[in-house]
Amino acid sequence: MQVLEVKNLTKAFGGIKAVTDINLEVNEGQIAGIIGPNGAGKTTFFNLLTGIYTPTSGNIKYNLNTTVEGKKLKPNKISSYGISRTFQNIRLFKEMTVLENVLIGYHHNFKYSVASAFLRLSSFAKGENEALNEALKLLKVFNLLDKKDELAQNLPYGEQRKLEIARAMASNPRLLLLDEPAAGMNPQETNDLTELIRWIRDEFKLTIILIEHDMSLVMDLCENIFVFDYGQLIASGSPKEVQNNPQVIKAYLGA
Protein backbone atom coordinates (compact mmCIF):
# COMPACT_ATOMS: atom_id res chain seq x y z
CA MET A 1 0.00 0.00 0.00
CA GLN A 2 1.24 3.49 -0.84
CA VAL A 3 1.55 5.82 2.11
CA LEU A 4 2.72 8.72 -0.04
CA GLU A 5 2.21 9.46 -3.73
CA VAL A 6 3.50 12.68 -5.29
CA LYS A 7 2.70 13.70 -8.85
CA ASN A 8 4.21 16.64 -10.76
CA LEU A 9 4.86 18.56 -7.53
CA THR A 10 6.26 22.03 -8.14
CA LYS A 11 7.00 24.99 -5.89
CA ALA A 12 8.05 28.34 -7.32
CA PHE A 13 9.11 31.41 -5.36
CA GLY A 14 8.56 34.21 -7.84
CA GLY A 15 10.33 33.09 -10.99
CA ILE A 16 12.55 30.58 -9.22
CA LYS A 17 11.48 26.94 -9.02
CA ALA A 18 12.75 25.36 -5.81
CA VAL A 19 11.05 22.04 -6.64
CA THR A 20 10.13 21.01 -10.19
CA ASP A 21 7.78 18.21 -11.32
CA ILE A 22 8.62 15.72 -8.58
CA ASN A 23 7.05 12.27 -9.02
CA LEU A 24 7.63 9.59 -6.40
CA GLU A 25 5.93 6.93 -4.31
CA VAL A 26 6.72 5.52 -0.86
CA ASN A 27 5.17 2.26 0.27
CA GLU A 28 3.97 1.31 3.72
CA GLY A 29 6.73 0.13 6.03
CA GLN A 30 9.61 1.51 4.00
CA ILE A 31 12.52 3.56 5.24
CA ALA A 32 13.27 5.89 2.34
CA GLY A 33 16.05 8.44 2.04
CA ILE A 34 16.28 11.77 0.24
CA ILE A 35 19.80 12.90 -0.60
CA GLY A 36 21.43 15.61 -2.68
CA PRO A 37 23.63 18.69 -2.40
CA ASN A 38 22.70 21.71 -0.31
CA GLY A 39 20.06 23.78 -2.07
CA ALA A 40 18.70 20.80 -4.00
CA GLY A 41 15.14 21.33 -2.71
CA LYS A 42 15.02 18.56 -0.11
CA THR A 43 13.72 20.60 2.83
CA THR A 44 11.38 22.56 0.52
CA PHE A 45 9.93 19.19 -0.47
CA PHE A 46 9.36 18.31 3.21
CA ASN A 47 7.76 21.72 3.76
CA LEU A 48 5.34 21.00 0.91
CA LEU A 49 4.47 17.61 2.36
CA THR A 50 3.71 19.11 5.77
CA GLY A 51 1.72 22.18 4.76
CA ILE A 52 4.33 24.82 5.54
CA TYR A 53 4.38 25.69 1.84
CA THR A 54 1.51 25.52 -0.63
CA PRO A 55 2.31 23.70 -3.89
CA THR A 56 2.40 25.87 -6.99
CA SER A 57 1.16 22.84 -8.88
CA GLY A 58 0.93 19.09 -8.55
CA ASN A 59 -0.75 16.57 -6.26
CA ILE A 60 0.23 15.00 -2.93
CA LYS A 61 -1.66 11.96 -1.73
CA TYR A 62 -1.22 10.74 1.84
CA ASN A 63 -2.94 7.51 2.81
CA LEU A 64 -5.49 8.04 0.00
CA ASN A 65 -6.11 11.68 1.01
CA THR A 66 -5.14 14.20 -1.66
CA THR A 67 -4.11 17.85 -1.66
CA VAL A 68 -4.44 19.40 -5.11
CA GLU A 69 -2.74 22.19 -7.04
CA GLY A 70 -2.72 25.49 -5.19
CA LYS A 71 -4.71 24.14 -2.23
CA LYS A 72 -3.51 25.16 1.21
CA LEU A 73 -3.73 22.46 3.84
CA LYS A 74 -2.94 23.51 7.39
CA PRO A 75 -0.24 21.48 9.17
CA ASN A 76 -2.78 20.27 11.76
CA LYS A 77 -4.95 18.88 8.96
CA ILE A 78 -1.99 17.03 7.50
CA SER A 79 -1.14 15.77 10.99
CA SER A 80 -4.64 14.30 11.15
CA TYR A 81 -3.72 12.22 8.09
CA GLY A 82 -0.95 10.62 10.14
CA ILE A 83 2.04 12.74 9.05
CA SER A 84 4.64 14.03 11.52
CA ARG A 85 8.13 15.49 11.17
CA THR A 86 11.29 16.79 12.77
CA PHE A 87 13.34 19.74 11.55
CA GLN A 88 16.88 20.29 10.31
CA ASN A 89 17.42 22.76 13.14
CA ILE A 90 16.10 21.37 16.41
CA ARG A 91 12.82 23.06 17.33
CA LEU A 92 12.12 22.17 20.92
CA PHE A 93 10.45 24.35 23.54
CA LYS A 94 13.76 24.68 25.30
CA GLU A 95 12.47 26.37 28.46
CA MET A 96 9.90 23.62 28.99
CA THR A 97 10.66 20.25 30.48
CA VAL A 98 11.33 17.09 28.51
CA LEU A 99 7.94 15.72 29.55
CA GLU A 100 6.10 18.92 28.62
CA ASN A 101 7.64 18.85 25.14
CA VAL A 102 6.30 15.36 24.50
CA LEU A 103 2.88 16.23 25.94
CA ILE A 104 2.59 19.02 23.37
CA GLY A 105 2.86 16.36 20.68
CA TYR A 106 -0.35 14.78 21.97
CA HIS A 107 -2.33 18.01 21.68
CA HIS A 108 -4.32 17.15 18.53
CA ASN A 109 -5.22 13.73 19.97
CA PHE A 110 -7.08 15.22 22.93
CA LYS A 111 -10.78 14.32 22.74
CA TYR A 112 -12.19 16.72 25.30
CA SER A 113 -13.74 20.09 24.40
CA VAL A 114 -12.57 23.58 25.33
CA ALA A 115 -15.48 23.79 27.77
CA SER A 116 -14.38 20.55 29.45
CA ALA A 117 -10.87 21.94 29.89
CA PHE A 118 -12.15 25.27 31.23
CA LEU A 119 -14.51 23.62 33.70
CA ARG A 120 -12.05 20.81 34.57
CA LEU A 121 -14.66 18.14 33.83
CA SER A 122 -13.97 14.40 34.10
CA SER A 123 -13.37 14.10 30.35
CA PHE A 124 -10.58 16.66 30.66
CA ALA A 125 -8.96 14.80 33.57
CA LYS A 126 -9.22 11.49 31.71
CA GLY A 127 -7.64 12.95 28.59
CA GLU A 128 -4.81 14.53 30.56
CA ASN A 129 -4.05 11.28 32.38
CA GLU A 130 -4.04 9.29 29.15
CA ALA A 131 -1.65 11.78 27.55
CA LEU A 132 0.64 11.71 30.58
CA ASN A 133 0.81 7.92 30.60
CA GLU A 134 1.54 7.75 26.87
CA ALA A 135 4.19 10.47 27.14
CA LEU A 136 5.96 8.59 29.94
CA LYS A 137 5.90 5.41 27.85
CA LEU A 138 7.53 7.24 24.95
CA LEU A 139 10.20 8.74 27.15
CA LYS A 140 11.01 5.27 28.43
CA VAL A 141 11.33 3.99 24.84
CA PHE A 142 13.75 6.80 24.03
CA ASN A 143 15.72 6.35 27.28
CA LEU A 144 14.74 9.82 28.44
CA LEU A 145 12.46 8.92 31.34
CA ASP A 146 15.04 9.85 33.95
CA LYS A 147 15.31 13.30 32.30
CA LYS A 148 11.57 14.01 32.23
CA ASP A 149 11.75 16.96 34.64
CA GLU A 150 14.84 18.56 33.10
CA LEU A 151 14.57 21.56 30.81
CA ALA A 152 14.96 20.57 27.17
CA GLN A 153 17.76 23.11 26.72
CA ASN A 154 19.87 21.30 29.31
CA LEU A 155 19.97 18.02 27.39
CA PRO A 156 23.06 17.09 25.38
CA TYR A 157 22.66 17.66 21.64
CA GLY A 158 22.09 13.99 20.81
CA GLU A 159 19.35 13.69 23.43
CA GLN A 160 17.67 16.84 22.13
CA ARG A 161 17.49 15.12 18.74
CA LYS A 162 15.94 12.06 20.37
CA LEU A 163 13.45 14.23 22.23
CA GLU A 164 12.36 15.90 19.00
CA ILE A 165 11.71 12.50 17.45
CA ALA A 166 9.81 11.41 20.58
CA ARG A 167 7.61 14.51 20.34
CA ALA A 168 6.92 13.75 16.67
CA MET A 169 5.96 10.21 17.66
CA ALA A 170 3.47 11.54 20.19
CA SER A 171 1.06 12.46 17.41
CA ASN A 172 0.79 8.76 16.52
CA PRO A 173 1.94 9.12 12.91
CA ARG A 174 1.85 6.58 10.10
CA LEU A 175 4.47 8.52 8.13
CA LEU A 176 7.41 10.08 9.97
CA LEU A 177 9.61 12.66 8.20
CA LEU A 178 13.09 13.19 9.64
CA ASP A 179 15.09 16.19 8.39
CA GLU A 180 18.82 15.49 8.91
CA PRO A 181 18.36 13.55 12.17
CA ALA A 182 22.10 12.74 12.45
CA ALA A 183 23.28 16.34 11.98
CA GLY A 184 25.79 17.26 14.67
CA MET A 185 26.03 13.75 16.09
CA ASN A 186 29.26 11.90 16.77
CA PRO A 187 29.80 8.41 15.23
CA GLN A 188 28.49 6.53 18.28
CA GLU A 189 25.38 8.70 18.49
CA THR A 190 24.82 8.15 14.75
CA ASN A 191 25.10 4.38 15.17
CA ASP A 192 22.62 4.48 18.05
CA LEU A 193 20.27 6.66 15.98
CA THR A 194 20.41 4.21 13.07
CA GLU A 195 19.30 1.35 15.31
CA LEU A 196 16.66 3.54 16.95
CA ILE A 197 15.08 4.53 13.62
CA ARG A 198 14.98 0.93 12.46
CA TRP A 199 13.46 -0.15 15.79
CA ILE A 200 10.85 2.64 15.65
CA ARG A 201 9.79 1.54 12.17
CA ASP A 202 9.37 -2.07 13.26
CA GLU A 203 7.85 -1.46 16.70
CA PHE A 204 5.33 1.21 15.67
CA LYS A 205 4.66 -0.10 12.13
CA LEU A 206 5.73 3.22 10.60
CA THR A 207 6.88 4.43 7.24
CA ILE A 208 9.86 6.76 7.48
CA ILE A 209 11.39 9.25 5.04
CA LEU A 210 14.62 10.95 6.03
CA ILE A 211 16.80 13.67 4.57
CA GLU A 212 20.41 13.03 5.44
CA HIS A 213 23.98 13.85 4.38
CA ASP A 214 25.57 11.01 6.34
CA MET A 215 25.91 8.48 3.54
CA SER A 216 26.91 5.61 5.83
CA LEU A 217 23.61 6.01 7.69
CA VAL A 218 21.59 6.37 4.47
CA MET A 219 23.14 3.39 2.73
CA ASP A 220 22.82 1.18 5.81
CA LEU A 221 19.29 2.18 6.76
CA CYS A 222 17.31 3.08 3.64
CA GLU A 223 15.65 0.59 1.33
CA ASN A 224 14.91 3.16 -1.34
CA ILE A 225 16.69 6.44 -2.05
CA PHE A 226 15.57 9.53 -3.98
CA VAL A 227 18.25 11.90 -5.26
CA PHE A 228 17.47 15.61 -5.69
CA ASP A 229 19.55 18.16 -7.60
CA TYR A 230 18.53 21.72 -8.47
CA GLY A 231 14.97 20.98 -7.36
CA GLN A 232 14.57 17.95 -9.58
CA LEU A 233 14.45 14.23 -8.87
CA ILE A 234 17.39 12.94 -10.91
CA ALA A 235 17.45 9.32 -9.73
CA SER A 236 15.85 6.79 -7.41
CA GLY A 237 16.43 3.18 -6.46
CA SER A 238 18.15 0.90 -4.01
CA PRO A 239 21.35 2.05 -2.26
CA LYS A 240 23.44 0.00 -4.69
CA GLU A 241 21.65 1.41 -7.73
CA VAL A 242 22.07 4.98 -6.50
CA GLN A 243 25.74 4.51 -5.62
CA ASN A 244 26.45 3.25 -9.14
CA ASN A 245 24.40 5.87 -10.98
CA PRO A 246 26.77 8.11 -13.02
CA GLN A 247 24.41 11.11 -12.78
CA VAL A 248 24.28 10.81 -8.98
CA ILE A 249 28.06 10.41 -8.73
CA LYS A 250 28.53 13.54 -10.82
CA ALA A 251 25.93 15.62 -8.96
CA TYR A 252 26.58 14.53 -5.39
CA LEU A 253 28.42 11.39 -4.38
CA GLY A 254 31.53 12.19 -6.36
CA ALA A 255 31.94 15.39 -4.35
Domain boundaries, the chain: 1-82+173-255, 92-170
Say if residue 194's pLDDT is above 70: yes
In words, the CATH class of domain 1-82+173-255 is: alpha beta
pLDDT value of residue 85: 93
pLDDT value of residue 182: 92
Say if residue 88's pLDDT is above 70: yes
Q: Are 105 and 168 in contact (CB under 8 A)?
A: yes
pTM of the predicted protein model: 0.88
Average pLDDT for 201-209: 95
Say if residue 119's pLDDT is above 70: no
Give long-range contacts, CB 8 A cutoff, 24+ apart: 191-200: 192/158, 193/158, 193/161, 193/162, 193/217, 194/220, 194/221, 196/142, 196/162, 196/165, 197/31, 197/221, 198/31, 200/165, 200/169, 200/176
pLDDT tens digits, 21-77: 999 999 999 999 999 999 999 999 999 999 999 999 999 999 888 888 778 778 778
Say if residue 248's pLDDT is above 80: yes
Which conformational region is residue 153 in: left (phi greater than 0), alpha (psi within -120 to 50 degrees), or beta?
A: alpha
Q: Which residues of 20-34 are buried (b: 16+ CB within 10 A; e: fewer)?
A: bebebebeeebbbbb
Strands 83-85 and 232-237: unpaired
Going from the C-alpha of 202 to that of each of 45, 112, 182, 205, the distances in angstroms are 25, 31, 20, 5
